[in-house]
């Protein structure tokens, strides 16, 4: 129903056949606890390595998502050629530089060319890329590239805004600084009116981000 599976897998950059090594994760967490001067066998920390390893399984689940199964044939032939926007998609990701969270919202739009995707699948695409060790710039491009490869639409646009704990808790310690990134294809790159319509829609009554 959509582009060949190989191209969809390539766009998703799926890491196949690699399961998490919980034994190695728990040993690493135990080493960190010891390295900071704590006692890994005291009551409060005894099960921390296990808990943290299971947490990473959830937070980094995007590496093991099958993109074809995720889409699950939810692409439909529809004669509609106006802009489709899904805005304010909340996400949580992990900065690959300091392994601290960044938290934000994604706004995704596309102009169909005979095919549309089920509404719930766009947030799932965002989550697939968010639940990895990431940088926001790459994640923005990955979402846009994946939808472009999947749907072959007339245009795709993605804007992501996020707060980064690595700049809030450490370093410059700027608690209100947020990053905004964008990636565009097709109409959104070549047509100023289309791009401005998208930006105008996502800027209306935007809710503030909170942590």
Active-site residue list: 95-98, 136, 164, 166
CA separation for the pair 3, 156 (Å, rounded):
16
Residues 6+ apart with CB under 8 A from 9: 67, 68
Q: Which two tokens stand for residue 190?
A: 């070549």
Contact by Cβ (8 Å): 103, 94: no
Strand 133-134 with 84-95, pairing: parallel
CA separation for the pair 155, 158 (Å, rounded):
10
């Amino acid at each position: 129903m959509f582009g060949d599976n190989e191209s969809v897998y390539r766009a998703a950059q799926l890491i196949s056949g690699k399961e998490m090594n919980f034994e190695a994760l728990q040993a690493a967490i135990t080493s960190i606890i010891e390295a900071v001067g704590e006692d890994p066998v005291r009551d409060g920390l005894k099960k921390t390595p296990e808990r943290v390893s299971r947490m990473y399984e959830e937070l980094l689940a995007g590496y093991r998502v099958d993109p074809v199964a995720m889409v699950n044939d939810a692409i439909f032939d529809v004669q509609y050629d106006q802009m489709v926007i899904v805005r304010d998609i909340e996400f949580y990701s992990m900065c690959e530089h300091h392994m601290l969270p960044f938290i934000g919202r994604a706004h995704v739009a596309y102009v169909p060319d005979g095919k549309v995707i089920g509404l719930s699948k766009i947030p799932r695409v965002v989550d697939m890329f968010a639940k990895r060790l990431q940088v926001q710039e790459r994640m923005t491009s990955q979402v846009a590239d994946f939808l472009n490869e999947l749907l072959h639409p007339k245009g795709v646009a993605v804007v992501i805004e996020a707060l980064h704990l690595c700049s809030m808790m450490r370093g410059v310690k700027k608690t209100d600084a947020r990053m905004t990134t964008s990636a565009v294809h097709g109409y959104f790159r070549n047509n100023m009116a289309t791009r401005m319509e998208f930006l105008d829609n996502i800027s209306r009554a935007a809710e503030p981000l909170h942590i």
